[in-house]
Amino acid sequence: MIECHISYKDGTEKCEIYPYRGDIKDINVFIKGYFAGPNWKTCSYEVLKQYKDDSEWYKDIKNLDKFIYLLKAHGYAADIVSKYEINS
């Protein structure tokens, strides 16, 4: 899970928590691809929590608005959802 601060060219800013899973080196690609949009100016993040496995990650993020958006709009982590919703 990451907390991200994005500044935009028009002076607006946002700071939100995102349900990232993957390699640390790919966080910027994730943020810019899904949330920053084309008018971002700067983007910084802090890793709030790392998880030992997908089950732990899913339990922690499954009710986050950003996760629900990613799942519905992009199919993000659909494999994890189907795996753990069937077993819950």
What residues have CB less than 8 Å from 30, skipping those under 6 apart? 18, 20, 22
Mean pLDDT confidence for 47-69: 90
Q: Answer yes or no: is pLDDT of 12 > 90.
A: yes
Domain ranges of the chain: 2-86
Percent of the chain with pLDDT over 90: 34
pLDDT category of residue 86 using cuts at 50, 70 and 90: low
pLDDT category of residue 15 using cuts at 50, 70 and 90: very high
Sheet-wide strand order for 13-18:
13-18, 2-8, 40-47
Per mean pLDDT, which range of 1-15, 28-42, 63-77 is the poorest? Answer: 28-42
Q: Tokens at residue 23, please?
A: 């390699």
- How far are the Cα atoms of 27, 54, 66 from residue 83, in angstroms, in the given order? 24, 10, 20
Q: For residues 58 and 63, what is the distance between their CA atoms, to the nearest angstrom?
A: 9
